[in-house]
């Protein structure tokens, strides 16, 4: 049983040969086919790929973006397993061989996910970074991915039937389409982590995107943020709040699970740069009865502290109305002593802002910290009880 490697490409004449060469290293025992789908390149990418002759199934289409390119070839995949390789990256044949063997030996697995090595070109030399992630809890991969893309689709070898069942990629996304699809791919799926680099991720200053939306490398982060908002909105629309209950909380009482579900969904919304929705969920959580179990209380504190680690959410508090909503939450009976936990967590980003001379951001957090009643501020800044010490160490 062999692998189909799909390489979508657009104006990558400079890099495409390195990608194809790395796929050919899989050899005839592993490689079913290499499909290169050209999304309307206007440079000499077609000439470079055509030189490979029958070694590559080379197809061309009008420009429509990466999602459109990948969707156009899903129906012709021949391999039992499928691997997506970006046209500027390099796959590691030995690792894909190991991943294929794991899938062969374990029929219940849907995918195997490995590590990534980032590298940059400088003076014609390669400077590889450390492989990441060092470890991965695949059993909660989908749940953790809701907070952001820390592993990529390109690090994953998937059974073709499961890949197709996840559905086509969303053509409305010019960036983050891999992340959105990976969320669907990993939902209700069984996978295994392979501590070996599946591919080398090339960092370069080339243009990203499609012909209609060309994005310079230094603006990619802004575009990701915009599409993350779209993904976050779709997640909120399509999934019930109970879906967001942390796996470790599923044995708690129903009201505790619901409170934690709102907190986790709020955290997901914060990471997707949807602060108003995040505040809505914080409010919904605070309106439910307080958590009584020790396990639930520790998890609740961890989630609240995590809000203070989301830079976009903290920056959103520059808006006076949004800051007023947040302060109102801190003063509410629903949060009670938990407000002190959150306030203390805000001290550290405020201190970092001061050290980096980001005075406006520091002033915004200071306004939040000193706004609640004095007793809450004091509890937030000074841990005076053994119980508080315990919770802070646990969190």
pLDDT digits (tens, 9 = 90+) for 121-140: 654 455 556 788 888 899 89
Tokens for 204, please give them: 């370069």
Kindly indicate the confidence band of residue 173, based on its pLDDT and cuts at 50, 70 and 90: confident
Question: 125-128 and 111-122: which strand pairing?
Answer: antiparallel
11 or 385, which is more confident? Answer: 11
Q: What is the mean pLDDT of the chain?
A: 88
Per-residue DSSP letter, 319: S
Tokens for 71, please give them: 């969707």
Question: Residue 80 — φ and ψ, nearest 5°?
Answer: -70, -30
- Rounded Cα gap, residues 241 and 92, in angstroms: 39
> Which of these, 366, 341, 361, 285, lies nearest to 277 by C-alpha position?
285
R_g of the chain, CA atoms, integer Å: 24
H or E element that contains 363: helix 359-370
Tokens for 257, please give them: 């699970």
**By the 8 A CB rule, do 6 and 73 touch?**
yes
Which ranges constitute the DSSP H helices of 113-219? 141-145, 160-165, 177-186
Q: Which pLDDT value is given to residue 389?
A: 45
Instruction: Say what angle helices 359-370 and 320-331 make with each other, to 10 degrees.
Output: 30
Tokens for 171, please give them: 């053509």
pLDDT digits (tens, 9 = 90+) for 199-245: 999 886 665 555 555 555 556 666 778 889 999 999 999 999 999 99
**Span 300-328, average pLDDT:** 94
Kindly indicate the confidence band of residue 280, based on its pLDDT and cuts at 50, 70 and 90: very high
345 or 31, which is more confident? Answer: 31
- Rounded Cα gap, residues 74 and 220, in angstroms: 27
Q: Kindly tell me if the per-residue pLDDT of 340 is higher than 90.
A: no
Distance, C-alpha 244 to centroid of its chain: 16
> Which of these, 192, 177, 1, 194, lies nearest to 110 by C-alpha position?
192
Question: 31-38 and 57-60: which strand pairing?
Answer: parallel
- Say which CATH architecture domain 3-223 belongs to: Alpha-Beta Complex (3.90)
Q: Kindly tell me if the per-residue pLDDT of 159 is higher than 70.
A: yes
């Amino acid at each position: 049983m062999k692998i189909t490697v799909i390489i979508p490409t657009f104006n990558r004449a400079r890099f495409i040969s390195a990608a194809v060469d790395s796929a050919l290293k899989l050899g005839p025992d592993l490689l079913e086919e290499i499909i290169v789908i050209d999304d309307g390149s206007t440079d000499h990418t077609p000439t470079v790929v055509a030189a490979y002759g029958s070694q590559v199934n080379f197809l061309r289409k009008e420009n429509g973006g990466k999602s459109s390119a990948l969707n156009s070839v899903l129906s012709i995949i021949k391999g039992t397993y499928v691997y997506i390789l970006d046209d500027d990256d390099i796959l590691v044949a030995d690792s894909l061989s190991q991943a294929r063997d794991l899938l062969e030996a374990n029929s219940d697995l849907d995918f195997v996910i490995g590590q990534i090595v980032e590298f940059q070109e400088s003076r014609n030399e390669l400077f590889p970074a450390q492989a990441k992630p060092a470890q991965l809890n695949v059993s909660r991969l989908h749940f953790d991915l809701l907070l952001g893309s820390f592993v990529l689709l390109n690090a994953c070898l998937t059974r073709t039937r499961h890949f197709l069942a996840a559905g086509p990629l969303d053509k409305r996304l010019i960036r983050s389409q891999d992340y959105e699809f990976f969320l669907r791919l990993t939902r209700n799926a069984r996978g295994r982590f392979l501590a070996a680099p599946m591919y080398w991720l090339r960092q370069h200053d080339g243009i990203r995107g499609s012909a209609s939306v060309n994005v310079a490398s230094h603006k990619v982060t802004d575009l990701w943020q915009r599409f993350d908002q779209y993904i976050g909105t779709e997640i909120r629309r399509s999934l019930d709040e109970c879906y967001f209950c942390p796996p470790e909380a599923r044995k708690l009482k129903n009201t505790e699970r619901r409170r934690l579900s709102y907190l986790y969904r709020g955290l997901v919304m914060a990471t997707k740069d949807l602060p108003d929705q995040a505040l809505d969920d914080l409010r919904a959580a605070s309106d439910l009865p307080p958590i009584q179990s020790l396990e639930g209380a520790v998890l609740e504190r961890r989630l609240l502290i995590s809000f203070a680690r989301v830079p976009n959410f903290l920056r959103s508090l520059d808006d006076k109305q949004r800051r007023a909503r947040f302060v109102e939450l801190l003063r509410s009976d629903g949060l009670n002593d938990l407000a002190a936990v959150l306030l203390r967590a805000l001290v550290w980003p405020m201190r970092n802002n001061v050290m980096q001379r980001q005075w406006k951001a520091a002033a915004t957090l200071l306004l939040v910290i000193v706004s609640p009643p004095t007793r809450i501020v004091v509890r937030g800044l000074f841990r005076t009880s053994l119980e508080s010490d315990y919770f802070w160490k646990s969190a």
